[in-house]
Amino acid sequence: MKLAIFGAGGHVAQRIAREALNRGHEVVGVVRSAASVRSDNERLTIVEGDATDASSVAKTAKGADVIINALSPRPSPSGRAATSLPAAARALLEGARRAGVPRLIAVGGAGSLEVAPGVRLVDSPGFPEEYKSESLNSAESLAVYRASPGDVDWTYISPAAELSPGTRTGRYRTGDDALLVDDKGKSFISYEDYAKALIDEVERPTHPRARMTVAY
């Protein structure tokens, strides 16, 4: 398959691209500045594009089988403001329609997962204040996907509460809207196993037009 990954320079996106390439897929990495990302694989093409502009999305994603939204909700190290994930969701959905791309998979956040019926992680006592803005930004984008018409098949994949570099064990659990924790109450998954779960969903869809979550 041909995958168009928006936000391809990010930590999670790089693992997703690597996982896809290792499985034989073709990847178009879409970034704001192509000079910041290096391509060392003949099946990886780096192009410049704007995920918040539907025309740019349609142009850069044309011919893809799946769009992957791996945009970060955080400001860039260079000082560029954080991307509005709801605005990007709208543009990516519209760009997918224009380009005839049937599927879109979004790297989601954990903050909107429920820790009790009707209680989101981001709203629970003790949630770190410094992460609230990006968590709410991600949650708003999920609402955009859920409200979209049925012409683009989307999946929003929330990670565990903690997502960080690690190893690719090849194992993970999946859920729907509830935060997954292990028998010690820890909610964690590595970038590498999150990437595996996402490409598994690309190849074998299990959550059409729905959110899923992955954790150990």
- List, run by run, the mean pLDDT of 10-residue segments along the chain (216 residues): 96 97 97 82 93 98 98 71 89 98 98 96 94 95 96 97 97 98 96 98 98 98
Tokens 């320079």 sit at which residue? 9
Nearest to 85 by CA among 108, 63, 66, 62: 108
Nearest to 169 by CA among 202, 203, 197: 197
Domain extent listing, the chain: 2-215
Q: Judge if pTM exceeds 0.85.
A: yes
pLDDT for the residue numbered 75: 67
pLDDT for the residue numbered 136: 95
Handedness of CA 128, 175, 207, 64 (dihedral sign): positive
Phi and psi at 196, nearest 5°, equal -60, -45
Residue 141: both structure tokens together: 């984008």
Beta strand segments in the chain, E? 2-6, 26-31, 44-48, 66-69, 103-107, 114-116, 119-120, 153-158, 162-164, 173-175, 188-190, 210-215
**Using an 8 Å Cβ cutoff, are 202 and 105 in contact?**
yes
The helix (H) or strand (E) run that includes residue 201 is helix 191-203
Q: Which amino acid is it at 40?
A: D
pLDDT for the residue numbered 76: 64
Q: Which amino acid is it at 20?
A: A
In this structure, which long-range contacts are made by residues 72-79, counting pairs with CB atoms below 8 Å and at least 24 apart in sequence? 72/7, 72/10, 73/109, 73/134, 73/135, 73/137, 73/138, 74/134
Strands 210-215 and 173-175: antiparallel
Architecture of the CATH domain 2-215: 3-Layer(aba) Sandwich (3.40)
